Chains A and B, each alone.
Chain A
Amino acid sequence: MSGSSSTGKGHPVKGGRTQAMEFSRTRYTARAQRRNKAATFGFYTLGFLVMLLIFWMLFTILAKGLPALSFDFLIKQPEEIDPGGGIGPVLFNSFYILFISLLISVPIGIGAGIYMAEYAPDNAFTGALRICVESLSSVPSIVFGLLGLAIFAEYFDVGLTILGGGVSLALLNLPMLARVTEEAVRAVPGEIREAGYALGMTKFHVIRKVVLPVALSAIITGVCLVAGRAFGESAVIILTAGLSTSGEMWDFNLFSPGETLAVHLWYVQSEAIVEDARQIADKSAAVLVFVVLLINLAFRLPLWFGKRRQGH
């Protein structure tokens, strides 16, 4: 760990950055070097410990569920009495409701985020609106569930439906999406935009061709975060889409009751009587984690390929 061994030669450090050391090799820089090394070590240790924790957790979840997982489990009906029930319709509903909620929340959320970053005047009202939107994420999801219940079950009187669940989830996710998009768009350096304007491009054209491509990666991170959260959300769905399915595997009817996988997991963990409830819960949790991984991949792969095509 002695500072002298790494200084004095000006050899390249990671990433090809040369450290101009030769002309300033003082006690101060030596100390800075030592600190630098210690910090690097610290950061790696931190990363290692956190990863260890995460993997231990994933292992605990997956090790119980995955080995017992079979294709049958993924397509069979849930059972109340006999062991061996599956999660077929429940899994389908999860995707269906997630799809509906994203269909609503992604265009509006991104639109609102862009408005806040690009169009909104920079005044106290915009600032207050921003904080309000942020505060919304701290409202417990059950309140959004109650709101959805009031809108769909009471006002529109349609009962517990997939549509109600999807829309309520969209309401829950909208604020977060808008904020993440706004931050992503704001992080794009102003000079790129100016270059666009200087060339006579319209505002929207600049946003679409210049700003969004740069901000895309961060926006997709946001969408993934939101999608994952929506997929694992249970309180909203229990209140708006119910704890039962229509009993059919491919029920696209928007007005069917729509229990999702996360809700089913809550149910088997909390109240189910069936004797293999624990195994079903373990397997469902494993499936949930797996699906979230898939969602992330599905959103990110096009991005990676896009980058490669651009020559990165």
Chain B
Amino acid sequence: MKIFRKFTVTALTAVIAVSTAFAGIASAADTLKGKITINGSTALLPLTLQAAKEFQKLHPKVKIAASGKGSVTGPQAVKKGIADIGAVDWDASTDVPGFKAFEGQVANKVAVIPFATIVNKNVGVDNLTTEQLKGIFSGKIKNWKEVGGADADIVVITRAFGSGTRVNYQAKALDGGDIVKKEKNYKETGSSGDMKTAVATTPNAIGYIDLVYVSGDVKAVKFNGVEATTNNVINGSYKIWAYGYYMTKGQPEGITKEFIKYVQSSKFQQGSLKKLKFIPISAMK
């Protein structure tokens, strides 16, 4: 017990000593300091983390803590006062299907997020129309041969209700149509990664995902004859996309304002944001 106590005391002293030492290193010239907490959509997280990293390099006295668990978590955390910024992939200051508007919050656009319909590589279909997608996700179309593919049951893979990806996909690709659960060949997943793995490993599967995640192991299909590419989003022919927002309580102030300004600056938008394969907000004007 004695050794244990000694060890605890030494450990605590070391902790205090080291943390004060690190606090001292930060440059004195910089005026910005404080802590920003960001919560919300995981789809925007890579962008937030990258921006936080760059911003902290510019302003070493600013600490940014980011987390994510679901789109609606963002504006909710802001409402409760446990986060300064709530990342969400719809405009949470207005009503959307399933969620009421968050009063008194300001939506700051930070990125354009394109979405794609994806299928397993064994599916022969290359193009799906709004009507066909509506049929598939509402369970009326059950077999790939009804939309020009091979004779095989369609396996529908979808995100859970309340996911930002699902909200946007329903609004833009299904024209507000429902996603109806089925007794068989239907599955809900909890994250973009799970969605991709599920579609990639399940033959005859169809799902949807942020365009960023589309890679060799799944196939993106055309929407009403238009390929899902960044260029088609910018020129307006591909319709399945949405803005990503940073929600704040009232107009952003202080370091929160500076951080959002940094994310919206052309330096970040044209640099890191593009490299992350999001689309700069300026491209849509």
Direct contact of A and B (CB under 8 A): yes
Contact A159 B35 (CB under 8 A): yes
Chain A contacts of B42 at CB under 8 A? Answer: 267, 270-271
B259 to chain A, nearest CB (A): 13
Q: How far is the CA of A280 from the CA of B81 in the complex (A)?
A: 34
**Taking the complex as formed, is B53 at the interface, i.e. its CB lies under 8 A from any CB of chain A?**
yes
Chain A contacts of B56 at CB under 8 A? Answer: 246-247
The interface stretch among B66-74, B133-141, B170-178 is: B66-74
Contact A81 B49 (CB under 8 A): no
A120 to chain B, nearest CB (A): 22
Contact B191 A271 (CB under 8 A): yes
**Taking the complex as formed, is A214 at the interface, i.e. its CB lies under 8 A from any CB of chain B?**
no
The interface stretch among A1-9, A31-39, A185-193, A252-260 is: A252-260
Contact B46 A271 (CB under 8 A): yes
Chain A contacts of B19 at CB under 8 A? Answer: 251-254
Contact A272 B194 (CB under 8 A): no
B30 to chain A, nearest CB (A): 15
Contact A270 B65 (CB under 8 A): no
Contact B194 A270 (CB under 8 A): yes
Q: How far is the CA of A253 from the CA of B23 in the complex (A)?
A: 9
Contact A267 B45 (CB under 8 A): yes
The interface stretch among B143-151, B222-230, B271-279 is: B271-279
Within 8 A of B (CB), among A234-251: 238-239, 242-244, 246-248, 250-251
Q: How far is the CA of A247 from the CA of B55 in the complex (A)?
A: 11
Chain B contacts of A269 at CB under 8 A? Answer: 193
**Taking the complex as formed, is A147 at the interface, i.e. its CB lies under 8 A from any CB of chain B?**
no
A149 to chain B, nearest CB (A): 7
**Taking the complex as formed, is A289 at the interface, i.e. its CB lies under 8 A from any CB of chain B?**
no
Q: A80-B49, A247-B53, A267-B45 are in contact. Are A256 and B63 (CB under 8 A)?
A: yes
Q: How far is the CA of A248 from the CA of B82 in the complex (A)?
A: 24
Contact B69 A238 (CB under 8 A): yes
Pick the residue among B53, B194, B212 that contacts A273 (CB under 8 A).
B212
Pick the residue among B53, B64, B67, B276 that contacts A239 (CB under 8 A).
B67
Q: How far is the CA of A80 from the CA of B272 in the complex (A)?
A: 9
Contact B276 A81 (CB under 8 A): yes
Chain A contacts of B14 at CB under 8 A? Answer: 252
Q: A80-B53, A159-B35 are in contact. Are A271 and B63 (CB under 8 A)?
A: no
Contact B272 A257 (CB under 8 A): no
| Interface size, A (range) | 20 to 34
Contact B52 A273 (CB under 8 A): no
Chain A contacts of B46 at CB under 8 A? Answer: 80, 271-274
B130 to chain A, nearest CB (A): 28
Contact A242 B193 (CB under 8 A): no
Contact A254 B45 (CB under 8 A): no
**Taking the complex as formed, is B192 at the interface, i.e. its CB lies under 8 A from any CB of chain A?**
yes
Q: How far is the CA of A128 from the CA of B94 in the complex (A)?
A: 49
Chain B contacts of A257 at CB under 8 A? Answer: 63-67
A-B contact count (CB 8 A): 99
Chain B contacts of A250 at CB under 8 A? Answer: 18, 22
Contact with A along B77-114 (1 / 0, CB 8 A): 00011100000000000000000000000000000000
Chain B contacts of A243 at CB under 8 A? Answer: 45, 49, 66-68
Contact A154 B82 (CB under 8 A): yes
Chain B contacts of A270 at CB under 8 A? Answer: 42, 190-194
**Taking the complex as formed, is A153 at the interface, i.e. its CB lies under 8 A from any CB of chain B?**
yes
**Taking the complex as formed, is B157 at the interface, i.e. its CB lies under 8 A from any CB of chain A?**
no
Q: A81-B275, A267-B45, A271-B42 are in contact. Are A244 and B35 (CB under 8 A)?
A: no
**Taking the complex as formed, is A87 at the interface, i.e. its CB lies under 8 A from any CB of chain B?**
no
Q: A238-B69, A248-B22, A256-B63 are in contact. Are A271 and B80 (CB under 8 A)?
A: no
**Taking the complex as formed, is B202 at the interface, i.e. its CB lies under 8 A from any CB of chain A?**
no
Which residue of chain B lies nearest to A99 when distances are taken between CB atoms in the complex? B11
Q: A238-B67, A244-B52, A244-B65 are in contact. Are A273 and B22 (CB under 8 A)?
A: no
Contact A103 B65 (CB under 8 A): no
Pick the residue among A153, A244, A253 that contacts B64 (CB under 8 A).
A244
Q: How far is the CA of A248 from the CA of B57 in the complex (A)?
A: 11
Contact A253 B45 (CB under 8 A): no
Contact with B along A174-192 (1 / 0, CB 8 A): 0000000000000000000
Q: How far is the CA of A267 from the CA of B49 in the complex (A)?
A: 12
**Taking the complex as formed, is A160 at the interface, i.e. its CB lies under 8 A from any CB of chain B?**
yes
Chain A contacts of B50 at CB under 8 A? Answer: 80-81
Contact with A along B1-35 (1 / 0, CB 8 A): 00000001000001100110011000000000001
Contact with A along B32-50 (1 / 0, CB 8 A): 0001010000110111011
A272 to chain B, nearest CB (A): 6
B112 to chain A, nearest CB (A): 15
B264 to chain A, nearest CB (A): 18
Chain B contacts of A275 at CB under 8 A? Answer: 215
Contact A271 B18 (CB under 8 A): no
Other than A103-B8, A244-B66, A248-B22, give 6 A-B pairs with Cβ distance below 8 A.
A153-B82, A160-B65, A253-B23, A257-B64, A271-B191, A273-B213
Q: Which 9 A-B pairs have the closest CB atoms?
A: A257-B65, A270-B191, A270-B193, A242-B67, A80-B50, A244-B66, A153-B82, A253-B19, A160-B65
